[in-house]
């Protein structure tokens, strides 16, 4: 990792000297982080230098450098260059670094073209609507960089299964507040017991899984209400989710805690594979184990797939 020119950056920010900042952002080859088993995804405003400097010490497994909501129009050019500066001085990072650009109609295409040279691990595009838009982005995007999509418009929801137009489309994020607003649904319906909300969570999860796209559950805005946040996490985990957006370190801690049983899942998968293959040698393709229940070929294949994913990531 190159030494970050903190003093020069602070001086340029104080002087509002965008051209000087841009000169310090020199493209460099990066070791793209291909990790897929990340759980906590922490959103940071990219125009906040203090946030960027804290990244190496944060416990989250994935960082979203945000250029969109929460960044004023005046700050957006500085946020973009600070993203580039961070990437150019971090050739390798143990956290997955994703940049959330602005909507395509609000400068997103230009931001993607600019960021390409600095090699973020992924680009996240908000307000996506059609497969055609996804194709246009992929034509711009370097083939080593993943594409993540925010599902927060009526069109995106209607086109959900069709948005996976390429293997580089790796993750969908459920933007529940914008989605409800676009559908003219009241945000008061965002309750764990509400059947509409449960349907949305279920449909989103199953569609993503069928497409082999990572489903990331919505950001819970009341970041101080950790008890309610925990209850959402427990519900989502029971449904099959293993990743959630966060807006505070305390949320990150809870996500990592609730979704932490990956080691136990992998150990269970190893034992199932071993038991099935032992029985298979005896010509038995299905059996009941006292601890693991009924084990047949689909159960075996599921365990094998989990082990293979852990190896590849």
Beta strands in the chain (DSSP E): 40-45, 62-66, 96-100, 122-125, 146-151, 169-174, 214-216, 244-246, 287-289, 293-295
Which tens digit of pLDDT belongs to each residue from 138-189? 999 999 999 999 999 999 999 999 999 999 999 999 999 999 999 999 999 9
pLDDT tops 80 at residue 224: yes
**Model confidence at 295, in pLDDT bands (50, 70, 90)?**
confident
Residues 159, 182 share a domain = yes
Report how many domains make up the chain: 2
What's residue 4's pLDDT? 82
pLDDT tops 90 at residue 96: yes
What's residue 69's pLDDT? 86
Close Cβ partners of 166 (under 8 Å, ≥ 6 residues apart) = 134, 135, 138, 147
What's residue 293's pLDDT? 77
Q: Is residue 234 part of a domain?
A: yes
Q: How far apart (Å, rounded) are the C-alpha atoms in residues 185 and 76?
A: 30
Task: State the residue range of the domain holding 302.
Answer: 264-312
Report, as an integer, the average pLDDT of 40-69: 92
Domain final residue pick, 241, 259, 277: 259
Residues 14, 162 share a domain = yes
Domain of 231: which CATH number? 3.20.20.60
Q: Is residue 213 part of a domain?
A: yes
Residues 271, 183 share a domain = no
Q: Is residue 132 part of a domain?
A: yes
What's residue 75's pLDDT? 94
Residue with the bigger pLDDT between 214 and 69: it is 214
Q: Is residue 227 part of a domain?
A: yes
Residues 210, 142 share a domain = yes
Which tens digit of pLDDT belongs to each residue from 110-148? 999 999 999 999 999 999 999 999 999 999 999 999 999
Residues 192, 277 share a domain = no
**Model confidence at 257, in pLDDT bands (50, 70, 90)?**
confident
Q: How far apart (Å, rounded) are the C-alpha atoms in residues 128 and 178?
A: 12
Domain final residue pick, 217, 237, 259: 259
pLDDT tops 60 at residue 249: yes
Which tens digit of pLDDT belongs to each residue from 4-41? 888 999 999 999 999 999 999 888 888 899 988 899 99
Residues 271, 255 share a domain = no
Residues 91, 173 share a domain = yes
Residues 299, 187 share a domain = no
What's residue 262's pLDDT? 63
What's residue 263's pLDDT? 63
């Amino acid at each position: 990792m190159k030494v970050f020119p903190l003093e020069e950056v602070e001086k340029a920010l104080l002087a509002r000297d965008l051209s000087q900042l841009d000169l310090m952002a020199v493209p460099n080859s990066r070791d793209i982080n291909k990790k897929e088993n990340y759980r906590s995804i922490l959103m940071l405003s990219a125009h906040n230098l203090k946030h960027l400097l804290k990244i190496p010490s944060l416990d989250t497994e994935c960082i979203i450098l945000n250029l969109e909501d929460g960044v004023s129009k005046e700050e957006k050019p500085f946020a973009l260059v600070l993203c580039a500066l961070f990437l150019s001085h971090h050739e390798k990072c143990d956290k997955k670094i994703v940049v959330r650009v602005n909507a395509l109609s609000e400068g997103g295409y230009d931001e993607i073209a600019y960021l390409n040279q600095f090699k973020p691990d992924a680009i996240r595009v908000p307000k996506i609507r059609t497969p055609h838009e996804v194709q246009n982005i992929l034509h711009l995007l370097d083939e080593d960089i993943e594409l993540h999509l925010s599902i927060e418009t009526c069109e995106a929801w209607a086109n959900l299964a069709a948005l996976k137009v390429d293997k580089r489309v790796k993750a969908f994020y459920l933007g529940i507040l914008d989605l409800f607003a676009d559908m003219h649904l009241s945000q008061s319906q965002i309750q764990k017991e509400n059947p509409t909300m449960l349907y949305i969570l279920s449909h989103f999860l199953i569609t993503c899984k069928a497409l082999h796209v990572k489903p990331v559950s919505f950001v819970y805005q009341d970041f101080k209400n950790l008890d309610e946040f925990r209850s959402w996490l427990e519900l989502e985990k029971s449904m099959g989710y293993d990743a959630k957006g966060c807006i505070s370190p305390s949320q990150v801690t809870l996500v990592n805690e609730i979704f932490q049983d990956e080691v136990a899942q992998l150990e269970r998968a190893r034992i199932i594979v071993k038991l099935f293959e032992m029985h298979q040698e005896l010509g038995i393709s299905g059996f009941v184990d006292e601890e693991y229940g009924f084990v047949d070929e689909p159960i075996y294949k599921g365990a094998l797939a989990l082990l293979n994913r852990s190896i590849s990531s």
